[in-house]
Structure 1
Amino acid sequence: MTTASKVTALRPELHGPAKLDAPRPVRTRRINREGYKINWWMTSLLLVASLTILVPLYFTISMALKSPEQAASGTGFAWPTDPHWENFAQAFELTNYPAAFMSTAFITVISVLGALAASSMVAYAIVRNWDKKFFRLSYIYFLSAMFVPFPVVILPLIKQTAMFGLDNPLGVAFIHIVGGISFNSLLFIAFLRSIPVELEEAARLDGASTWQTFRKVIFPLLAPMSATVGIFAFLGSWNDFLLPQMLIADPALQTLPVVQQLFQGQFNTNYSLAFASYLMALAPTLLVYLFAQRWIMSGVMRGAVK
């Protein structure tokens, strides 16, 4: 028995030469994959550009391991012949790193969680009530607030936080949340407009309230944009120098960027200890980036099947 006879016997519906000789979809997909070409010149250029981040990182590590005499001489790129690892211990002690780290971490965590909660709810209310004039005016108000320079309102903020007893890390976190609502809400608004309303209608048919619909249906779909907003909020809070310096009254509650200025005097700067403290403040940021990279990918995959 020939091959065609065997196929016809097993699959009676496939009879005739036209159907037996029809191209298979698997073969078509294989041809498309083989026709894909990689732009090696552009890939190499992007690889070299991404490696430039290693230059300032090497400079920071090199300066942190030098003595004050070695740091003051040369270009700074020469690797120290005798690394001074004790610079990290001295910077740890002089900056009171545990207390400064806990204060910075407290402000950052509250700011990130508050930014995600407040901005997402504000954006959801504006998008789903766009037909009402009040919410359209609120959108214009948030958009216009982004054009107000922050130094213009810093003095009134200092006065108000002192009046309400918020001249502490909690007050700094509150200002970060309120100050970031404009930008973060615009990001959430742009993403929320791509989510179909039918998902919410199906949830309401099942008896879900507005809050339950937002918490169980909408907010999980905002994972990709929540990751973006969380990174912006984290960097803005962790690296902030102006607000903690101006608002926090107790020096024992100051953050890492503020206490690091003690290495800079009027006539000299201890570069070795300063760069050692910079590296210790940089370590948590790198860990967050490594964690957030995986979380962003999982959020994109969840948002792709919404």
Structure 2
Amino acid sequence: MKEGRIVQAIQYTVLALGAILVLIPMYLTVNLSFKTQMESAQSFFAPPSGLFLGNFAAVMKGKFWIHMGNSVMITLVSMLFIMILVPMVSFAISRNFKRGYFKFVFYFILSGIFVPFQVIMLPVLKHMSSMHLLNQMGLIIMYVALSFTQGIFLSVGFLKNIPLELDEASTIDGCGIVQTFVRIIYPLMLPIIVTIVTLNSLWIWNDFQLPLILLNRSPNYWTLPLFIYNFKTDYGFDYNVAFAGFLITMLPIIVLYGFMQRYLISGLTEGALK
């Protein structure tokens, strides 16, 4: 009994420390976003005396909305292709897993999890440059391709729990493979699809490396992470304006994660264990 309480106390202590590590940066981001430079110089950690919105106005000047539009477009288009292609490929693999070719394809795609991005970074740059894809379309193609490893792993695991009798019943009713997938299998996959969408949206929206490699030809192609990274060039060292930019950038994805959190946890559990 006493040992159980000690373990529980340690668990709560670790959770509390983790919460503090997350909440302190969040507090500083919100705090500095609504402060003037004079207030920050007087007291860095004290709450603001009022809601100063000048930092947000400074962020939104110039090309901010262009970069916001780039991030929204790239994220939405990438997610559209991921929502279509990953379930289709996963369905084909899961229903033909006993065949050697499909099993090989599955493990070949899965092996990408063990390859660090730094290993393929230079070859990706070389090949995308040779195909004239150092632009937003090339970035979308890379996001879709790189999403396959995790997405197919989770989706195939999820599909293994959907009985083959459903496929056979739909065939008896006159449905082809496409109709079976669209009308029966895809709706049943919605929990894992929502999970894949949430995980990849977080990654694509916040990604810095791929946009830095593929979108460095023109500032007009930049996404929000690149825009935030170049704050020091446009705004000097105005930390209040920079933190206002951080807050604006975080808000859309925080809202999305808040709505999708419960589906994310259930989908990850079902896709990884079934």
Normalising by the smaller structure, the TM-score range is 0.7 to 0.9
Report the TM-score, using the length of structure 1 for normalisation.
0.75
Pair 73,261 (structure 1): closer, same or farther in 2 beyond 3 Å: farther
Pair 264,73 (structure 1): closer, same or farther in 2 beyond 3 Å: farther
Q: What 5-or-longer segments of structure 2 have no aligned partner?
A: 1-7, 269-274
Structure 2 Cα separation of the partners of residues 214 and 274 of structure 1? 47
Q: Does 1:239 align with 2:206?
A: yes
Question: Which residue matches 2:73?
Answer: 106
CA RMSD of aligned residues (A): 2.9
Question: Which residue matches 2:46?
Answer: 78
Deviation at 1:191, TM superposition (A): 0.4
Q: Which has the larger radius of gyration?
A: 1
Deviation at 1:59, TM superposition (A): 1.6
- Alpha carbons 2:198, 2:264 under 8 Å: kept: no
Match of 2:92 among 125, 137, 143: 125
Structure 2 Cα separation of the partners of residues 205 and 50 of structure 1? 54
Secondary structure in 1 aligned to 2:230? helix
Deviation at 1:77, TM superposition (A): 2.3
Which of the pair is proportionally richer in helix? Answer: 2
Give the percent of matched residue pairs that are identical in Structure 1 and Structure 2: 32
Question: Which residue matches 1:226?
Answer: 193
Structure 2 Cα separation of the partners of residues 209 and 113 of structure 1? 24
Question: Which residue matches 2:240?
Answer: 272
Match of 1:252 among 217, 220, 224: 220
Q: Does 1:136 align with 2:136?
A: no
CA deviation vs aligned residue, 1:191-235 (integer Å, no higher than 9, x gap): 000000101111111111111111111111011111110011101
Question: Which residue matches 2:25?
Answer: 56
CA deviation vs aligned residue, 1:103-138 (integer Å, no higher than 9, x gap): 001110112122222221121111111121111111
Counterpart AA for 2:155? F
**Does 1 or 2 have the higher relative contact order (CA < 8 Å, sep 6+)?**
2
Secondary structure in 1 aligned to 2:175? coil
- Alpha carbons 1:167, 1:247 under 8 Å: kept: yes
Question: Which residue matches 1:283?
Answer: 251
CA deviation vs aligned residue, 1:221-254 (integer Å, no higher than 9, x gap): 0111111100111011100111112101221121
- Alpha carbons 1:263, 1:271 under 8 Å: kept: no
Structure 2 Cα separation of the partners of residues 258 and 224 of structure 1? 32
Q: How many residues align?
A: 257
- Alpha carbons 2:195, 2:267 under 8 Å: kept: no
Report the TM-score, using the length of structure 2 for normalisation.
0.83
Question: Which residue matches 2:4?
Answer: none
Q: Does 1:89 align with 2:36?
A: no
